[in-house]
Structure 1
C-alpha cells in the first residue's frame, strides 16, 4: 500500500464518520436509542472516537469493520420506529457483512434483528436524582448523568446537596465541575444562576441545596419528588444513618457510594445486581476495589474454582490522607500521601463475599496507598481447584471481556507498555493486564487495573438505573 493511500483511506473514514455522527445524535436525542460498537458507547462520540471504536472490531472479527460498513446500518436504523433501547451496530454489521456483499437485504435483516424494539413504550415519566455530596465521585457522576441526558434518558439530575453556602461557594463548585486535574475539562458549557443558586450544565438545570443534615431538606419545594438520593459522603453507612435521607420530603430511595454495613445489600453491577428489588429503599454500590475485582473473581471461580487467595491493592491516595505529615486518626494515614507508600487495610476482599457468597472466608486483603492521584491496581494471588496454563487463562479472560455477560465490567489488555495513566477514564470496573498474568499448576496471579474514580462511577450509574427501573434491552 502506497503512503498516499494510507492518508486517503484515513480521510475517507473521517468523512464517513462525520456523516455517522449526526445520525447517532438523532437516534439518542430523538428516540432514546444508544448506539454501541461491540459494547462501547458512541453517545457524544467525536469523529476520531468513532474511527477508533471501529478499530476495536479487529478483536471480534477476522478483519476490522470500517465506518463505510456501519454507515448504511445507521442510516437505515434512523428510519425505523424504535423505542428506547441499545443497539450494537458493530455486532449487527459484522453479522450482516459476513453473509452479504451489498445492502439489498439490509432492511429485512434489521427488521428481524430489531423486532423486539419496534413500536414499544416510550421513555415514560422522568425520574429525579439528587447527589448528596459533591466530591470526586459526586462530580464524576454529574458528568456522566449530563453526558447521558436527553429526551430518551429518564434519569434527571435535579439537585446537589452540600454543606456551606458562603459567598463564592457556588462559583467554586462550578469551577471544580468545569476543571479537573485528573479527568480534564468538562465537555460542554457551564453557566451559574446566582439568584437561584443553580448550575446549568449543557442545559441541565441543577439546583444547589445547602444543608447540614439530610433531614433538613425538603426536596418538594424545588419540584423534586420520589427522588433517588445518591449519598457520596460516606458519613452514614448503615440503615439507621442512611434512613435520615428518607425522612426528607420528596426522597424515595437511597444509593450509597461506599460499602454498606449491616443488612444493606452491597451490589456489584453485573455480578449480583439481580438482588435489587423494586421495594428496596437503601442499597450500597460497594467500593471501587470490590467492583474491580469481583467480576474477574466470578469469571475465574465459574471456570476454575477458587480455593483461597490474597488480594493486594495498590491504590492511589485519596482525599482522606494528608498531603504532608499531620495528625490522622487512622494508622499510618497521617504520613504524607504525596511522598510515601502507605500500608493500610482494606475490606474489599471480605466485601467480595457480599456480592459473591461462594467466596466467603476464602480471601484476605491489604492495601498500599501510593503517590498517584488516580488509577489503582489489584494483585490477586489465587489458589485454584483446577490446573491452568497462562495462555489458556488469558484466552479465557479475554473472551470474558469481549463476549460474556461480564463484558460491561471486565476489560482486557495484553500490551506490554500500559501504565496507570493510560487507564484514566476507563469505563470498566476492572482491566485485566494479560501481559502480567502468572499461572502454574493450580496457582495464578492476576493484575487488575481500575480507574478507582471514573470506572467506579460508571458502575454506580448502572446501579442508579437499576434502582429506578431503567433497564433497556440491547439488540445485537
Structure 2
C-alpha cells in the first residue's frame, strides 16, 4: 500500500464515529454526489472517495465535526454544497426540514414491506425525517411475531439482515436495532385506530396492492393518526411518482400518491435523459422479469391464465403497464410506448429492453457517454446505474440500490434507432426508490398546487 492510500484509509476510519453520531443522534444523512456516506463500512467510504480524488478528506472531517456541533437535525445534506459554500450556516438554513420526525406505518409485510423495513433500519444508514413506528398485518399463526422476525432477519435472495431483530411478545412489537416497532393485527384498514397506539400524523405505506384507486386507499387516510398514504404499485386517480423524475410535482394537496412499479422506476429516469437529449418518436419496452409471488409454483388455477403455470419451469408471457405508466412521469411520451413482459425462472433481478426510435441520429458511444454522465450526477445517481462489466449477469445486480442499471456493452444503435438493456433489482432497487420518496414526503415543505399552476402559466 502507498502512504497516500494508508493516509486516506486512516481519514476514512476517523469519519465512521462522526457519521454514526450524525445518523443516530441527529438523523442527518450525508450525501456525496447523491450517494449516502454510510457509517458501517470503511470500504464503502473509500469507494465513494475514490470517485472524487479532488476531495480534501481533512476538510470533509472538519465539516462533519461542524455538522455534529450544529443545531440542524432530521435532514439530508450534500457534501459538495458544504464544500462549495464558505458559510455552512447559509447552506443548512436552506434545508426544508422543520426538525420533526414522521412516524411510518407499513401496511403489509411481504417482499417489499420487509425490504422497506431493512432499508429504513439499516445499520450505518439514516432515513431523515421519519422513523418506522408500526407494521400492520393479518395474524397468520400462533407464533406470528416470531415468524415475522425470522422473515425479516433471513432472506433467501438478499441474505441475512445485518442488524439485530428481537421479539417483544408482551408489547406485541419487533425490536429492530434497539427501536420498538409495533405490530398491529388487522384484516381491514377500517379497523385500525393508530392514535390508540400513540401514532399521529403518520405516513402509511400500503404494500399489499389490494387497493389501487383513490377511494380504496382513502380508507387508510380516514383512520385516526394517518396524514398521507403511499402505494407501492401503479395507482389510479393519483400521481404516479418516479423519484428523481417527477417528484417535484408533489404538492401539499397530494395526500395519496403512488410510487409506480419497479419496471416504471427502472426505465423512466433513463427515458427522461434520452427524451431531453434526443427526443423519442416511439418505442417498445420488453421486460424480462423475475417470477413473483403472485404466480403459481406448480400448475394450478389462476385469474391470469398463463401465470397459473409453474413459475420455476416456464417462461411466461404476460402484460405490463410500465410503458404506458411512463407518460405519467414524462407527459411528452404519452401514447408513444408499448410494452409487454416475460416472466422467467429467476427469483430476483429483471431486465428491460428499450427499443426506441429517436428524433435524431446518434451512436453507441454518445448514448453510453450520456447515460454514464447521468449515472454520475447528483440528480440521478440513485436512479441510473452504469455497467461496463464484460461478464455481467443478473445475479450481479442483486442488492443494487439504483432504480435501473444500463448494460453499456449491450447498447445497439443504428441511425436514430436505439436498443438499450436495463438491469434492475425489482425488489431492493425499487424499495430504495420508495424510501427516497418517503424521505421527501417526511422532510419537505411541499409547495401548494396553486404555486405550481402559477409557475406553469
- Fold shared per TM-score above 0.5: yes
1:32 to 1:367, Cα distance in 2 relative to 1, 3 A: same
User: Which deviates the most, 446-455 or 40-49?
Assistant: 40-49
1:363-385 per-position Cα deviation (integer Å, ceiling 9, x unaligned)? 11111111111111110000011
Contact 2:16-2:40 within 8 A present in 1 as well: yes
Q: Any idea what SS the aligned residue of 1:333 has?
A: helix
> Contact (CA 8 Å) 2:212, 2:235: kept in 1 or not?
yes
Return the alpha-carbon distance in structure 1 between the equivalents of residues 302 and 88 of structure 2.
Answer: 58
Identify which of 390, 396, 400 aligns with 1:416. Answer: 390
Mapped to 2, the partners of 1:114 and 1:426 lie a distance apart of 34
Structure 1 moving runs of 4+ over 6 Å:
119-122, 148-152
The structure 1 residue matched to 2:244, chosen from 245, 270, 289, is: 270
Conserved 8 A contact 2:221-2:229: yes
Q: Measure the CA separation in 2 of the matches of 1:70 and 1:18.
A: 11
| Residue 246 in structure 1 maps to residue 221 in structure 2 | yes
Q: CA deviation at 1:466?
A: 2.7
Aligned to 2:201: 226
User: Secondary structure, in 3 states, of the residue corresponding to 1:463?
Assistant: helix
Q: CA deviation at 1:138?
A: 0.2
Partner of 2:160: 185
| 2:146 pairs with 1:146 | no
Pair 1:291 & 2:290 matched = no
Q: For residue 420 of structure 2, give the secondary structure of its aligned residue in structure 1.
A: strand
Does the aligned pair in 1 maintain the 2:72–2:99 contact within 8 Å? no
Structure 2 residue ranges without an equivalent (≥5): 447-457
Tell me: CA distance 1:417–1:243, structure 2 relative to 1, closer, same or farther (3 Å).
Answer: same
SS of structure 1 residue aligned to 2:314: coil
Once the two structures are superposed, residues 326-367 of structure 1 have per-residue CA deviations (whole angstroms, 9 ceiling, x without a partner) of 221212111111111111111111111111111111111111
Deviates more, 1:458-467 or 1:381-390: 458-467
CA distance in 2: counterparts of 1:282 and 1:247, whole angstroms: 11
**1:49-68 alignment, distance < 5 Å:** 49-57=44-52, 64=53
CA gap of 1:92–1:286, structure 2 versus 1, over 3 A, is: closer
The answer to whether the 8 A contact 1:31-1:151 is kept is: no
Q: Name which of 41, 45, 48 aligns with 2:36.
A: 41
Partner of 1:99: none
- SS of alignment partner, residue 212 of structure 2: coil
Q: Secondary structure at the match of 2:122?
A: helix
CA RMSD of aligned residues (A): 2.5
Pair 1:427 & 2:416 matched: no
For 1:15 and 1:23, how far apart are their aligned partners in 2?
A: 14
Q: CA deviation at 1:223?
A: 0.3
Distance 2:349 2:126 in 1: 33
- Please report how far the alpha carbon of residue 112 of structure 1 lies from its aligned counterpart in structure 2 after TM superposition: 3.6
* In structure 1, C-alpha distance between the alignment counterparts of 2:376 and 2:276, rounded to whole Å: 17
Deviation larger for 238-247 or 445-454: 238-247
1:106 aligns with: none
Using structure 2 for the length normalisation, give the TM-score: 0.90
Deviation, structure 1 residue 201: 0.2
1:83 match? 72
- Per-residue deviation, 1:395: 0.8
CA contact (8 A) 2:22 2:28 kept: yes
Residue number in structure 1 paired with 2:131: 156
Aligned pair 1:73/2:47, yes or no? no
Does residue 23 in structure 1 map to residue 10 in structure 2? no
Q: In the TM superposition, what whole-angstrom CA distance separates every residue of 1:46-82 from its partner, at most 9, and x where no partner exists?
A: 122222222333xxxxxx468xx41442234313536
TM-score by length of 1: 0.87
Single out whichever of 75-84 and 190-199 deviates more from structure 2: 75-84
Change (3 A) 1:121 1:396: closer
CA contact (8 A) 2:168 2:175 kept: yes
211, 230, 234: which is aligned to 1:236? Answer: 211
Kindly state the Cα deviation for residue 191 of structure 1 after the two structures are TM-superposed.
1.3
CA distance in 2 between partners of 1:152 and 1:458 (Å): 11
Q: 1:249 to 1:114 in 2, by over 3 A?
A: closer
Counterparts of 2:374 and 2:133, CA distance in 1:
37
Contact 1:24–1:74, Cα closer than 8 Å, also in 2: no
